[in-house]
Structure 1
Amino acid sequence: MDTNFQPIISTNARGHYRQHPLEFKRALVALSLEPGASVARIARDHGVNANQVFSWRRLYEQGRLGVPALMRDDGLLPVVLASTVPAPSNDTANANGIVVLELGEVRVRIEGQPNASTLAQVLDRVLR
């Protein structure tokens, strides 16, 4: 029988914690939000604990990972209304509108009077 009566003295009280960059966290959250994804498998494949990935998902949903929460339970995207565009005038010949769509790092600006089919094509491409 091996008995050791000397106390174990550790110089590091808590050990070394890895600091993961935001891009890494966002990438794992994106992978975990895909339909049919296994958080445990994603965490194991990337060398982190599954509980950590769930924690990052909560932070992402709260918008605390540096980007606004785009995945919400109601399926809606956040919309910001800006008052920089003047109100439309009664003169339809000179009326020019501006539509600005921002989704993450993608920004689409449409000027003039686009018809409904043009807007439908733009929205179809942007929201894919």
Structure 2
Amino acid sequence: MDTNFQPVISSPTRGHYRQHPLEFKRALVALSLQPGASVARIAREHGVNANQVFSWRRLYNQGHLGEHALMRDDGLLPVVLTPTTPVPRNAADDADGSIVLEVGEVRVRIEGRANASTLAQVLERLLR
């Protein structure tokens, strides 16, 4: 029978977790939300794990990293739905309607029936 008389050496205990300032977290989230940004590269350059950056992004989207400002420019337009009073519909009403697009200080109002190709061209020009 073999008996091992080697002493059991426990691994050193882990130090305290690093506490990053809120501004640091927001800055990394802002960098990671830039078009074409690599979360892994950003995390490596700043000495944190990429999973931590993804966690901060999730917290940011939930509004837990302070004031939720739009740092993201993914080409999507904000949409606001406002309630309207129901109006009796008839065939003439189907041609009426309006679409209002606001991007920064630019406001575009399309009235009547919007043609899909015209709307696509307007959106393409606005999002440049």
TM normalised by structure 2 equals 0.50
Deviation at 1:4, TM superposition (A): 7.9
The answer on 1:8 being equivalent to 2:17 is no
Looking at CA atoms only, which structure, 1 or 2, has the larger radius of gyration? 2
Deviation at 1:70, TM superposition (A): 2.7
Deviation at 1:65, TM superposition (A): 0.4
Deviation at 1:8, TM superposition (A): 2.2
Matches within 5 A, 1:33-44: 33-44=33-44
The answer on 1:26 being equivalent to 2:26 is yes
Deviation at 1:123, TM superposition (A): 2.8
Matched residues, percent identical?
Answer: 71
Distance change (3 Å), C-alpha of 1:71 and 1:4: farther
Matches within 5 A, 1:69-84: 70=70, 75-76=77-78
Distance change (3 Å), C-alpha of 1:17 and 1:38: same
Dislocated runs of 4+, deviation >3 Å? 9-12, 71-75
> Would you say how many aligned residue pairs link Structure 1 and Structure 2?
79
- Runs of 5+ unmatched residues, structure 2: 81-101, 107-128
Q: Which has the higher contact order (CA 8 A, sep 6+)?
A: 2
Q: Is the 8 A contact 1:25 1:56 kept in 2?
A: yes
